Amino acid sequence: MKSIRSRFLCLAVLLCGALSVFAATSATVEKWGVFELELKGPEDGNPFVDVRLSAVFTNGATTLEVPGFYDGDGVYRVRFMPSAVGEWRYETKSNRWPLTGKLGSFTATAPSKGNRGPVRVFNTFHFAYADGTPFKQIGTTIYNWLDTPEEVQERTLQTLAAAPFNKARMLITQQPNPYQGKFAPPRWPFAGRPPHAWDFTRFNPDFFRHYELRLAQLRDLGIEADLILFNPYGKWGFETMDAANEERYVRYVVARFAAFRNVWWSLANEFDFLRTKTMADWDRLGALVQACDPYNHLRSIHNGSLLYDHNKPWVTHVSMQNGAAVEESGRAELYRDVWRKPVVYDEVKYEGKSEYRWGNLSGEEMVDRFWCGTVAGTYVGHGDYFFTVSEDTFTSFGGKLTGVSAPRLAFLRKILEDGPPQGLDPIDKWQDPNTAGVPGIYYLTYFGREKPTAWTFQLYKNGVVDGQRYKVEVIDTWAMTITPVDGEFVTRKLDNYHFDANGRSVALPGKAGMAIRVTRLGADGKPVKVELPTD
């Protein structure tokens, strides 16, 4: 076997292209970067269907088989994201001689600044980057920003660079486009033409190369790309794919994109509105994504009106549409217990001035929903649905933000990132839905649409003992102010709670959107450090 492989070894080419997509330009690549192997192979027949290619990568401790893909013009690629520094060796496998048995190696170097690896589920209900840094999800939605004129795409990137969002949801296949007539979608994922004249057995590499350029730009902005594999919006005929075509599509997308550390898989948007698929189809496709992604990126499925069974093992977290559920923290909390996975309310209606009931939140309402979700121990997504003549809406096609919630979401993100690394969990579920935190360490209480004029210092008994010292701050979630309350609060127990030993209350301004942050102080008068759970 060895001798046969060796004959073709000289053909193995390590190439990282002219695109800024790939960090490696030599036989080194940073940890969680993209190593890319380029091979020349057959162009005859239909290489997308006829040729199978993968490579086994190993550093001795970890061994992964990684799918390759055909990139057109006789070029094949295998992309690999190394999860550890040091030497990695690989060997290709294929059903074609020019592509099989290629051996090689490269060195993974330390990650550069801002590269924290892929995001994983952490501490049951939360997220963290692979390097352990907590990921406090503040999402937004830009469904088809890649189907707009280039200048709109560039403007979208500029908007995102200045915005607080660290995750964006986006479609892969197109929805109807307001630029049509003046501007048709520039690239389609398949060979053929719309509507319905597709050859689902042949992909359009140009579409995917463009998509990858944008994925890399999002990555470099610190934005996770929540990629929606299927959607119900097209009138283009993508909904007619049969099971074999669906599988080929999923495998191709995963083979191309999975080495990007900032990829999340969203199996579908409003899956139940896609009437050409059954629940069994979603089960099968979700399990397929799980099976063919060597990196185990986050996976979810997003509902319209019917909920998916998120207990299925392939689902890593809940991606929920339900605006009503985050109108009030007591609602938002309920879904956590059902699935015991992170809950992301990715669609809670959009900030906007739309005729639709799902696109007319005020900025205050949008921010309120983020805070309700936060103190319920869940995460929320943003949308901006102001219809502009030239750009449709930000949430549909990118461009500029019109709404006023974004700075307040930046303020919230800062509070979360200053908070306990393990995430905020309900302190006393079913009794006090307004408070999340870490017992005896940190408490965040949000009063929602209530307009209290005072808050009695009061902590639920778990994790608290008498004589602990706490700092209290008053937060105005809209004005973006954090006002410390003079002095310290010292705990004294009464029944199920600890009050301040001197019976102190905190004055509040009697307006909506207020919060309280309570932080325990150590003997040195500084906030107590939180111990991280091991997950």
Site residues (vs its own copies, CB under 8 A): 306-307, 309, 311, 322-325, 327-328, 330-331, 334-335, 337-338, 340, 357, 429-431, 433, 496
How far apart CA 87 and CA 101 sit, in angstroms, is 19
* 3 state SS of 374: helix
99-115 burial, b at 16+ Cβ within 10 Å, e below that, comes to bbbbebebbbbebeeeb
Cα separation, 529 vs 207, in Å, equals 48
What are the backbone angles phi and psi of residue 4, rounded to the nearest 5°? Answer: -65, -45
Nearest to 419 by CA among 123, 119, 117: 123
CB of 141 to its own copies, least distance (A): 18
C-alpha count within 13 angstroms, C-beta hemisphere, residue 411: 18
CB nearer to its own copies: give 155 or 498. 498
Q: How far apart are CA 75 and CA 168, in angstroms?
A: 31
Q: Which is nearer to its own copies, 311 or 481 (CB)?
A: 311
Q: Give alpha helix (H) positions in 296-362.
A: 329-332, 334-339
From the CB of 112, what's the least distance to its own copies, in Å? 42
In the three-class reduction of DSSP (H, G, I as helix; E, B as strand; rest coil), residue 488 is classed as: coil
- Select 366 or 416, whichever has its Cβ closest to its own copies: 366
| Inter-axis angle of helices 406-418 and 363-375, nearest 10 | 20
Nearer to its own copies among residue 36 and residue 425 (C-beta): 425
In the complex, least distance from residue 312 CB atom to its own copies, rounded to whole angstroms: 9
- Shortest CB 197 distance to its own copies, Å: 38
Nearest to its own copies of 92, 322 (CB atom): 322
* 271/265 Cα distance (integer angstroms): 14
Cβ of residue 330: shortest distance to its own copies, in angstroms? 6
Closer by beta carbon to its own copies, 97 or else 430? 430
CB of 427 to its own copies, least distance (A): 13
Integer Cα distance of 297 and 19 in angstroms: 23
Nearest C-alpha neighbor of 508 from the set 445, 463, 461: 445
Nearer to its own copies, 261 or 349 (CB): 349
CB-nearer residue toward its own copies: 340 or 529 = 340
Is residue 400 within 8 Å of 148, Cβ to Cβ? no
